[in-house]
Amino acid sequence: MIVDLIYKEEVYNIIGVCMEVHRELGKGFSEIVYKDAIEYECKHK
């Protein structure tokens, strides 16, 4: 089944930011650290 996303480009960019943050920080941090890093990356892209 193929599903068309309404905001395909935006979803792709958000997932890319999340993957980049995870790749840079790795695992083991609290949720707030990842939230702050994702917020920073979104504001500076």
Query: Would residue 18 count as lying in a domain?
Result: yes
Query: Would residue 38 count as lying in a domain?
Result: yes
Average pLDDT, the chain: 92
Confidence of residue 10 (pLDDT cuts 50, 70, 90): very high
Average of pLDDT values for 6-24? 94
What is the number of structural domains in the chain?
A: 1
Which residues make Cβ contacts (< 8 Å) with residue 21, sequence separation at least 6? Answer: 34, 37, 38, 41
At residue 43's C-alpha, the angle toward residues 41 and 44, to 5°, is: 65
Query: Would residue 20 count as lying in a domain?
Result: yes
Q: Which domain holds residue 13?
A: 8-43
Query: Would residue 2 count as lying in a domain?
Result: no
Query: Would residue 23 count as lying in a domain?
Result: yes
Task: Report percent pLDDT > 90 for the chain.
Answer: 80
Determine which helix (DSSP H) or strand (DSSP E) holds 33, and give its type and residue range. Answer: helix 31-43
Query: Would residue 39 count as lying in a domain?
Result: yes
Query: Would residue 15 count as lying in a domain?
Result: yes
Query: Would residue 33 count as lying in a domain?
Result: yes
